[in-house]
Structure 1
Amino acid sequence: MRIDLHTHSTASDGTDTPAELVRKAAAAGLDAVALTDHDTTRGHAEAIGALPAGLTLVTGAELSCRLDGISLHMLAYLFDPDEPELLRERELVRDDRVPRAQAMVRKLRELGVPVTWERVAAIAADGSVGRPHIAEALVELGLVATVSDAFTPEWLADGGRVHAPRHELDPFTAVRLIKGAGGVAVLAHPAAAKRGRTVSESVIAELAACGLDGVEVDHMDHDGPARQRLRALAADHGLLTTGSSDYHGSRKTCRLGEYTTDPEIYGEITRRATGAFPVPGAGGPQDPAPRDDARVVRTPDGRQG
């Protein structure tokens, strides 16, 4: 089996619609793919409606967290999207995205950059607006060569000239909420130092003691030594290790299935989850309109509950 447990669609900051993403995942030879848009489950209904036969969808989200000024992301898999406490936190994060992005646009204009909020909003379209959409506007203006080049102290990186804070979860709270909603919690790209400061191994150990299920090890932003360190850390603390593309469509260079998760670990993730179940593809061609923070829970035989 080939399993990719970290992807994004236009429901947040990817460039493929959820329907396009699952079709591309099947074409890439994947057997299972997780849709983990930032702080939202809005793309799940569309992805399920277009899910090709032979491909299984793992519903999830990537939660925005911060600890001692360090930004980190928590992948949440197969949780109950109706669980009220986690839903309330996701809505707080999501609702804070627009004023935060507007604040960054204002800072850019104060620096003489002729970016407009209207253009950033148009780039985001129906997705949850975020820094990648602003970065794309900077690419269009010729100020940076790629979206990744905008995530520097000169521009959008944490603590950068135009960075603006937003509502983010404490990671320990995130783990508690994910587990409370019947989900599985995996720390995303914990050694991605080029994105900014990363949390220490002692913090990851503390998170493990509080219920963290795993760490994302095989990722494009982790070099060989970082992967070795993370595998050793995971072994020391009984954590699962995953591999994922962190696919964003044309906004990043990574390919679907570029890094994958071992089938035995995938099986353990599905065994631990009680909030929702993986959805097997039925080959449906329809593309239902995405709903706001779609709430889909499946029974073990795949029927909608």
Structure 2
Amino acid sequence: MNAARYLGAHCSVSGGLYRAVERIEGLSGTALQIFTRNQRQWKTSPVKEQEAEQFRQALQQWGDYPVFSHDSYLINLASPDREILKKSVQAFAGELKRCALLGIPGLVTHPGAHKGQGLDKGLQAYVRALDEALDLALQQCPESADVEVLLETTSGQGTVLGSTFQELDFIISTSKNSDRLGVCFDTCHVFAAGYDMRTRESYNATMQTLDSTVGLQRVQAVHLNDSSYGLGSRGDRHEHIGKGEMGLEPFRLVLNDPRFYDVPMVIETPKDKAGKWDLANLNLLRGLVR
């Protein structure tokens, strides 16, 4: 397969981190995203060395495939609330350290929400806190320098940042750690934010805009999700591939775009306990690869 060599899913770590590797193998996946901790709690236990070694061995046995982590949903590095901001900086530094310990080279993160302080102030606050968290992680764990931060495109719901390519470009160009920042392109979020991809012409226009701002070379991961909401709705709800408002064409185009052949792509579509929905979505995507 020439296109989209790295295609997989976000998998559960229930039962142990290594179980996510078993699950992606069961889907014949070649890319993996996980949470390394409970994403809905501030408190978390440190990764034990035995658990880390077990996970690293599972990755090695799986193959030389890309893996990345998604940070906690509670983290908001743009928060105007001092207590939440302090917790967010510490938690994000912890996420970076966990990735370093587990041998995970990329950490996907939502660029925060300004919570009413305004877009400009929110973006500036986010960059300051992001740099602070990166510095803190580096002090506590020098190996965290090898972990790349992947800013995820967002839908623009509420006061979240990162729904335009210009906002992501501001973060990257303003941060003193720009060399460690990349982008995770979420198809659902981009579509809901107003970037159309349902025809070759609109897809090309969206990619041209992305390239002229952030730069396509910054895209280091792709989330393949359909959208329950329409173009420009700013709603954030993932749907099964081809079952939402986007149709199949955006996925066909991105999967067969030579510029993304080496970029890992994972689905975050609705799940069932048996994993049958993930398999169905992945098989549908595989069928789109030319």
**TM-score above 0.5, yes or no:** no
> Normalised by the size of structure 1, how large is the TM-score?
0.39
> Normalised by the size of structure 2, how large is the TM-score?
0.41
User: Between Structure 1 and Structure 2, which shows a larger proportion of helix residues?
Assistant: 2
Higher relative contact order (CA 8 A, sep 6+): 1
